[in-house]
């Protein structure tokens, strides 16, 4: 397949008139040239495929239901548990497929699914103990995007007295394999299939004892990525300090988790010493600004992390919004509110967090760049919408002006997934979302 991009963001910057030859799943050649007669013309600004580095697909059912009124993260969590209780492999497949299709419409070509809903009600395993994991992997294939299933270890209900952990609550039983040996045994038998990678996750330091974090980290060190929720809430930091005398980041470091394959999700409440650890270990921190706003988490130290040497990636997490352009500009705009300064992050840096860095932290190296040999992902943003009309074809327009609604064409792994704003595999995404959410939430 041959594409001619009116304007494209290449590794050296924006270039006008770019001819892209696709060979199977990868770019064969990328050159500046006039459009040949057989090329598909992509008018607008074409950027690399976006990577959603942190997703909980089933949280999409909560949109519009949990955003107003009082409460905090901990009260919101109860509503989330109710949705989790209603799911089975079939309803999970339908909901995840529709959610991933919405992501494709937004220009997302790869997702990191932080997957902890493993078993049936009460923690009873399905006949296939990885039935739920297979459902989310299949959902991504049917939606036309790649996935890294971040299989999550979840063993405890929080910190207990004297450094111990509390028992799981009833809804949390579905998340647990009983002990770390159970998690290791199940994940070792999990093959997510074509177009998918398998990674590991520690749900959080409150949900996995320190001695078990070491075992999960050892498994991931054999060639997988490792993610964890870290310091999302100040209350988590206080509880960890009370139980262990150190921050969640320090506990993860002590347990051998911090390395170049590690991604801390949120990192909202980090100390200066925490920030240094991420930089020294060349780890990644994934910010999810729309969720962090919605749950009143706070604003993380993105500039300080980059200065220390850590990488930044982006996720839509609870899917209050699925728009990686909004997540990207949120990192900069939210930081302006607390620093009183502009320009802490360039548009190019923010776009890299949404593309190349996001793919890398999901284990997809050499992705997120429009260059020969990379996975053939293209996302074309229209420059004639009410939001982008009159804007120059620059990375700044993509990050600070465009929205998911401005995406017109998406190619993922060489396959056309979205054409003229229409998903080619799930033609009516709103109907698919309505049906899937209606099957698990009865209004």
**How far apart are alpha carbons 398 and 392 in whole angstroms?**
10
pLDDT band for position 81 (50/70/90)? confident
Query: Could you read off the pLDDT of 117-170 as tens digits, one per residue?
Result: 999 999 999 999 999 999 999 999 999 999 999 999 999 998 887 667 888 988
pLDDT of 67 above 90: no
| Domains of the chain and any CATH numbers | 2-47+370-430 (2.30.40.10), 50-361 (3.20.20.140)
Question: Is the pTM higher than 0.85?
Answer: yes
Query: Could you read off the pLDDT of 394-422 as tens digits, one per residue?
Result: 999 999 999 999 999 999 999 999 999 99
Residue 77 tokens, joined: 């969590």
Query: Could you read off the pLDDT of 181-210 as tens digits, one per residue?
Result: 999 999 999 999 999 999 999 999 999 999
Residue 102 tokens, joined: 């919405």
Query: Could you read off the pLDDT of 201-247 as tens digits, one per residue?
Result: 999 999 999 999 999 999 999 999 999 999 999 999 999 999 999 99
pLDDT of residue 315: 98
Say if residues 396 and 347 touch (Cβ distance below 8 Å). Answer: yes
**How far apart are alpha carbons 257 and 248 in whole angstroms?**
11
How far CA 12 is from CA of 2, 103, 371, 395, in Å, comes to 21, 27, 10, 12
Other Cβ atoms less than 10 A from the Cβ of 33: the count is: 13
pLDDT of residue 220: 98
pLDDT of residue 410: 98
pLDDT of residue 71: 66
Query: Could you read off the pLDDT of 286-324 as tens digits, one per residue?
Result: 999 999 999 999 999 999 999 999 999 999 999 999 999
What is the pLDDT of the chain when averaged over all its residues? 95
pLDDT of 256 above 90: yes
pLDDT of residue 76: 74
* 280 vs 171, residue with greater confidence: 280
pLDDT of residue 366: 86
Q: Which residue has the tokens 């989790």?
A: 84
Burial class (CB in 10 A: 0-12, 13-18, 19+), 166: middle
Query: Could you read off the pLDDT of 335-387 as tens digits, one per residue?
Result: 999 999 999 999 999 999 999 999 999 999 989 999 999 999 999 999 999 99
């Amino acid at each position: 397949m041959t594409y001619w991009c009116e304007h494209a963001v290449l590794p050296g910057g924006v270039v006008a008139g770019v001819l892209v030859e696709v060979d199977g799943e990868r770019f064969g050649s990328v050159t500046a040239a006039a459009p040949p007669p057989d090329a598909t013309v992509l008018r607008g600004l074409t950027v690399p495929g976006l990577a959603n580095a942190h997703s909980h697909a089933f949280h999409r059912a909560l949109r519009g239901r949990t955003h107003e009124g009082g409460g905090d993260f901990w009260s919101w969590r109860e509503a989330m548990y109710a949705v989790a209780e209603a799911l089975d492999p079939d309803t999970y497949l339908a909901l995840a497929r529709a959610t991933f299709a919405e992501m494709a419409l937004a220009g997302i070509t790869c997702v990191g699914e932080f997957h902890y809903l493993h078993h049936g009600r009460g923690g009873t395993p399905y006949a296939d103990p990885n039935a739920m994991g297979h459902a989310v992997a299949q959902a991504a294939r049917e939606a036309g995007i790649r996935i890294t299933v971040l299989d999550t270890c979840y063993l405890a209900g929080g910190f207990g007295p004297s450094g111990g952990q509390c028992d799981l609550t009833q809804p949390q039983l579905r998340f647990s394999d009983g002990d770390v040996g159970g998690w290791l045994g199940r994940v070792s038998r999990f093959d997510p299939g074509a177009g998918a990678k398998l990674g590991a996750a520690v749900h959080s330091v409150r949900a996995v004892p320190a001695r078990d974090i070491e075992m999960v980290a050892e498994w991931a060190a054999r060639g997988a990525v490792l993610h964890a929720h870290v310091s999302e809430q100040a209350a988590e930091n206080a509880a960890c300090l009370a139980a262990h005398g150190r921050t969640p980041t320090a506990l993860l470091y002590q347990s051998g988790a911090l390395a170049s394959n590690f991604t801390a999700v949120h990192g909202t409440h980090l100390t200066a010493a925490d920030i240094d650890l991420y930089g020294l270990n060349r780890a990644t921190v994934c910010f999810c600004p729309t969720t962090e706003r919605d749950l009143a988490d706070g604003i993380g130290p993105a500039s300080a992390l980059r200065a220390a040497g850590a990488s930044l990636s982006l996720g839509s997490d609870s899917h209050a919004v699925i728009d990686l352009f909004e997540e990207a500009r949120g990192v900069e705009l939210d930081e302006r509110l607390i620093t009183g300064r502009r320009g802490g992050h360039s548009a190019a840096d923010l776009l890299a967090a949404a593309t190349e860095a996001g793919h890398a932290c999901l284990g997809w190296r050499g992705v997120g760049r429009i260059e020969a040999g990379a996975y053939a992902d293209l996302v074309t943003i229209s420059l004639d919408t009410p939001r982008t009309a009159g804007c120059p074809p620059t990375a700044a327009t993509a990050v600070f002006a465009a929205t998911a609604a401005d995406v017109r064409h998406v190619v993922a792994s060489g396959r056309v997934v979205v054409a003229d704003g229409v998903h080619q595999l799930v033609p009516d995404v709103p109907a698919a979302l309505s049906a899937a959410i209606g099957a698990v939430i009865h209004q």
